[in-house]
Structure 1
Amino acid sequence: MSSRLSRYLGVLLVGWVSLPSSGQAGEAPASDAFEAWLRPPVPPADGFAPVPGSSRAPAGSEVRALAHGRVEAVSPEGRSLTLEHFYYENHELRRVRSEYAELEAVTLRPGESVTRGQVLSRVGAKGRLAVSLHAGKRLSAAEARSFTQARARLPLPASEPVLLLVSHAGNELRLYEQGREVERVEVGFGQAEGPKQVRGDNRTPVGMYFVVQKHRGTFTGAYGQYYGGHWLRVNYPNLWDAERGLAQGLITREVRDRIARAWEERKATEASTRLGSGIGFHGWAGEWSLEETGGRLSWGCIVMHNPDISRLFDRMPEGAMVVIF
């Protein structure tokens, strides 16, 4: 993911997508939040090509799709079409539309899938091309350029060798290998509700992170027993946490830049800021249940049952993507 992304975060607000109900081929049941997040109706974008910088274009020249997506609509006269794109940003699956006008006759039909760079049609006889992006609203030319520049490369979680998806609402972790679910287990979270904001708030964050440290064995100190013999640290804070911290005056721009670089390299990020740190997976000092605890156990970490983390520890390698939503 490009480091330039951080410069454009906050320019656009794009809400959670509203996924279609089940019943169409390839779509996940709407009731399964994990599958709905991981498998959108069409393959998600792996990045966006730049929006054309000028509306002047030679008549008959090729017009190509900005990203993977599907045809949402074609005008009755076949001179324009709209594509729908899904993409991942932090812990969210988002949706944006691209529109292409002043074309020759479009032969694609609604529902057809397209790939990034695929020829959609050709520029019409007037030699003018109109390409726009819609993310809740029609973006200005400057916003559209910023949007595509910041998202030239995007993550594809289903293609990760190892992926950990964690649901706050479901108190559940699912482990995927090459996009295939291999385990699902119950988990607990921080003692306080809501996404983590600052050090000491006892909340578990939401976001996309990576495993950066592992330890199995004895833990010393007053709280050593609460690790349950296992520890997997993730690189909280991430890029989006850093952007929030910068906006709130919690960190400096220099610190934000360091966090962004380390996170993109799947390395440990700053551990001494007011945003907090030390978030990861661990076991517990004995058995626990959702009924007795409500799943509110830790100071912000994700708590697993000791037999579960013992069994899965070796299948959760450093560098593995972790998405908490």
Structure 2
Amino acid sequence: MPCRLLLGLCLLAVSPGRAAAADAFESWLHPAQPPAEGFEPLPRSASVAPGREVRALARGQVVAVGPGGRSVTLEHLFHENHELRRVRSEYTGLEAVTWRPGQGVARGQAVGRVGTGGKGEVRLLEGGRVLSAAEAKRFTEERARLPLPAEEPVLLLISHAANELRLYERGREVKRVEVGFGQGEGRKRLRGDNRTPLGMYFVVGKHRGDFPGEYGAFYGGHWMKLNYPNPWDAEWGVAQGVISREVREAITRAWRERKLTPASTKLGSGIGLHGWAGEWSLAESGGRLSWGCVVLHNPDITALYGRVPPGTMVVLF
């Protein structure tokens, strides 16, 4: 079986809309090159014997070819939670290759062959730091499969900065509406902080009609529940001592299946999309309305409700 080699890896988060002229939604959903759908596992050995073939870790694009075609550098983009991340992999010790910058490379595609007079070296870096073998192995194992939001049948992208929601079908925008958020500033972390999350979630419940209770009117007759918290919220919770590793694992399993995640932890729950008790304006409210949910104008939630089935991906960034 051909040995798969990753050499030289650099990671950073790409902020949606970094370029002033770029549309934040389109920059995130449709980046300049196709995002990776997953990463191949790293080889066990730190080096590759002469004559062995080297294959691309993930779908990407050639950004550099070394002198004499002895090395190739690929760039990979991938979606993770609410971020678009950028990874570079460098393949060295190769025989002369004919790649050119700008060419696309598929996951597992042959990049080259290790020269007979040398060996391929494996080196992984994150922000200039060389990753240990265990860190590199964990990185690829955790990202063997990655989401491709532009291929989702239905997708909701919601921008905190723009107070805007966009509905996509197979990557094509079909509707955009104004939204409000929680009364608390910043990213939701704990139950009762009145903040709206950042991250990737899925619709796990819907209800339309009357809502009982003192605050029933504030749903505006519509409710679409999200499976907050997600694995990244849970990871933060473990680091802060708020939840256990066992609870984090339960959250991760349910989230991956697009099911309701555990709702009784200190991280909070009950996050979704709904209408409001009456008309509201961004100018008067500043968009700070709810206890953490995304608030839509009632005509907008009415129009969206039937187009958003259970299991729909919702990304708040």
- Shorter-normalised TM range: over 0.9
The one-letter amino acid paired with 1:254 is E
Count of residue pairs brought into register by the alignment: 308
Kept after mapping to 1: 8 A contact 2:10/2:89 = no
Structure 1 match to 2:236: 244
> In the aligned structure 1, how far is the partner of 2:57 from the partner of 2:287?
43
Kept after mapping to 2: 8 A contact 1:166/1:172 = yes
1:115 aligns with 2:91: no
Q: Deviations over 1:29-74 (max 9, x none)?
A: 8431000001111111111101222255443332110000000111
Q: Choose from 227, 232, 251 the match for 2:224.
A: 232
1:278 aligns with 2:270: yes
Structure 1 match to 2:307: 315
Q: Choose from 58, 65, 77 the match for 1:86.
A: 77
Deviation at 1:79, TM superposition (A): 0.2
> In the aligned structure 2, how far is the partner of 1:176 from the partner of 1:19?
17
Change (3 A) 1:18 1:290: closer
Structure 1 match to 2:135: 143
Map residues 22-37 of structure 1 onto 2, 5 A cutoff. Answer: 30-37=21-28
Change (3 A) 1:43 1:293: same
Q: Name the SS of the counterpart of 1:77 in structure 2.
A: helix
1:59 aligns with 2:50: yes
1:300 aligns with 2:297: no
Identity within the alignment, %: 68
The one-letter amino acid paired with 1:237 is P
- Aligned residues: CA RMSD: 1.9
Q: Deviations over 1:281-303 (max 9, x none)?
A: 00001100101100000000000
Structure 2 match to 1:103: 94
Q: Which runs of 4+ in 1 moved over 4 A?
A: 18-22
* Unpaired stretches in structure 2, ≥5 consecutive residues: 1-8
Q: Choose from 159, 178, 195 the match for 1:167.
A: 159
Deviation at 1:244, TM superposition (A): 0.7
Q: Deviations over 1:253-289 (max 9, x none)?
A: 2211111111111000111111000000000011001
> In the aligned structure 2, how far is the partner of 1:13 from the partner of 1:216?
47
Kept after mapping to 2: 8 A contact 1:288/1:305 = yes
> In the aligned structure 2, how far is the partner of 1:241 from the partner of 1:58?
42
Q: Name the SS of the counterpart of 2:218 in structure 1.
A: helix
Structure 2 match to 1:130: 121
Q: Which range is displaced more, 248-257 or 205-214?
A: 248-257
> In the aligned structure 2, how far is the partner of 1:147 from the partner of 1:298?
37
Structure 2 match to 1:185: 177
Q: Choose from 63, 71, 81 the match for 1:72.
A: 63
> In the aligned structure 1, how far is the partner of 2:247 from the partner of 2:46?
40
Kept after mapping to 2: 8 A contact 1:51/1:131 = no
Q: Give the TM-score, by structure 2 length.
A: 0.93
> In the aligned structure 2, how far is the partner of 1:175 from the partner of 1:73?
37
Q: Deviations over 1:210-230 (max 9, x none)?
A: 000000001110000000000
Structure 2 match to 1:17: 14
Kept after mapping to 1: 8 A contact 2:274/2:293 = yes
> In the aligned structure 2, how far is the partner of 1:180 from the partner of 1:269?
29
> In the aligned structure 2, how far is the partner of 1:307 from the partner of 1:19?
29
